[in-house]
Structure 1
Amino acid sequence: MTQKTSHNLFNIVIAFAMTMFFSCKNNFKEVQQIGVLQNEPIGIAENMNLKYTDSGRLKANLISSKMLDFSNREFSYNEFPDGILLNLYDERNKKSVIVADYAIVYNDTDLIDLRGNVLITTETKDSIFAQQLFYDQKRDWVFSNKPIKYVSPTKIVTGNAFDSSRDFTSFGISEVTSTVYLDEDTSQ
């Protein structure tokens, strides 16, 4: 009888082990997400001053009071809910400045979405005002399909779309709605 009880106990252990083995599933991604709420960032940076250099030369300087890191998402991004100040430098170290109330950087596409009171000021004192602009980092191109206003020392142009090179030396305004030429002689 002892041998029969031992044999039954062995069969029960084997059956239990097999059930546990086949009921297990690979849920490693779920385990990684424990403690991280679905809509929460994986990290928060405050008072950041990020400098991007290439071959020892400063190309960009990003300043923001807060960055939310959502790199834990399938389509990862970084959000700047309190806005940004972005200084871009060309090959001759001339600076263009971009300011926006809100920004989001999509990591997979290298696209920056700038929103709310977007202002671009160039070294030549030209300014671009918009509610939304995109900066394509791969192509070094700035564009918008929303109304913009371009102000230079000689004219003000409004339109419904805009595209430009990174250094704003080559740009275009589509669907121009108005052009006002300014008087260059302000001494009188």
Structure 2
Amino acid sequence: MNYKSSYNLFYIVTAFAVTMFFSCKNNFKEVQQIGIKQNEPIGVAENMNLKYTDSGRLKANLISPKMLDFSNREFSYNEFPDGVTLYIYDERNKRSTIVADYAISYNNTDLIDLRGNVLITTETKDSIFAEQLFYDQKRDWVFSNKPVRYVSPTSIVTGNAFDSNQDFSSYGVSEVTGVQYFDDDDSF
């Protein structure tokens, strides 16, 4: 009897050990996330002034009342829920201004997604109005695939897409839906 019960005990211990062995998993990522709520930022900055330089030259300056840092994500980003003002500087240090109600800056791609009442004013006093616009910091390019309105002192052009270089000297409105020209005597 004693011999038979020791075999039963051996089988029970073996079954238990095998079960425990196969139930273990590598959960290092989960352990790292302890204390961080799932959809919460890892940092919050208020009244921020972020400057982007390249080779010692100021290329962009982003100002916002609040930034949420989600750099703990696999595709890291910074969110600006209370809006932004983005100044873009060209090679001659001429400044264009972009204002938006909301923005997201993607760290891996250097792309800034600007949304809600987006307004660009250029050094030459041209204005671009859109609901969404992207600024590619690597390519110094501004673009949108949403309806836009381009206003210059001599015309208003509306269309369904827009792209331009950073100083707005080379721009295009695609899928034009309307054009209005002004004489010097006209006012708008």
Q: Same fold (TM over 0.5)?
A: yes
- In the alignment, the residues of structure 1 paired with residue 156 and residue 61 of structure 2 have an alpha-carbon distance, to the nearest angstrom, of 28
Name 1:6's counterpart in structure 2. none
Shift in CA distance, 158/186, structure 1 to aligned 2, threshold 3 Å: closer
Residues 98-117 of structure 1 show CA distances to partners (whole Å, capped at 9, x for unaligned) of 00000011122222111000
**Does the Cα contact within 8 Å between 2:89 and 2:166 map onto a contact in 1?**
no
Q: Equivalent residues in 2 for 1:116-155 (5 A)?
A: 116-155=116-155
Deviates more, 1:132-141 or 1:99-108: 132-141
- In the alignment, the residues of structure 2 paired with residue 42 and residue 25 of structure 1 have an alpha-carbon distance, to the nearest angstrom, of 26
Runs of 4+ in 1 over 3 A off after TM superposition: 16-25
Percentage identity across aligned positions?
A: 84
Name 1:31's counterpart in structure 2. 31
Deviation of residue 17 (structure 1)?
Answer: 9.8
Name 1:58's counterpart in structure 2. 58
* Structure 2 letter corresponding to 1:89: Y
Name 2:105's counterpart in structure 1. 105
- In the alignment, the residues of structure 1 paired with residue 21 and residue 181 of structure 2 have an alpha-carbon distance, to the nearest angstrom, of 79
Shift in CA distance, 22/180, structure 1 to aligned 2, threshold 3 Å: closer
- In the alignment, the residues of structure 2 paired with residue 137 and residue 56 of structure 1 have an alpha-carbon distance, to the nearest angstrom, of 15
Q: Per the alignment, in what secondary structure is the counterpart of residue 39 of structure 2?
A: coil
Deviation of residue 60 (structure 1)?
Answer: 1.2
Q: Per the alignment, in what secondary structure is the counterpart of residue 85 of structure 1?
A: strand
Name 1:174's counterpart in structure 2. 174
**Does the Cα contact within 8 Å between 2:52 and 2:59 map onto a contact in 1?**
yes
Residues 36-88 of structure 1 show CA distances to partners (whole Å, capped at 9, x for unaligned) of 11110111111001112233322211100001111111111111000100011
Q: Per the alignment, in what secondary structure is the counterpart of residue 185 of structure 1?
A: coil
Query: Structure 1 regions of 5+ residues with no counterpart?
Result: 1-15
Q: Per the alignment, in what secondary structure is the counterpart of residue 173 of structure 1?
A: strand
- In the alignment, the residues of structure 1 paired with residue 43 and residue 128 of structure 2 have an alpha-carbon distance, to the nearest angstrom, of 33
* Structure 2 letter corresponding to 1:130: A
Deviation of residue 18 (structure 1)?
Answer: 9.8
Using the size of structure 2 for normalisation, the TM-score is 0.84
Deviates more, 1:61-70 or 1:108-117: 108-117
Aligned residues: 175
Deviation of residue 133 (structure 1)?
Answer: 0.6
Q: Per the alignment, in what secondary structure is the counterpart of residue 29 of structure 2?
A: helix
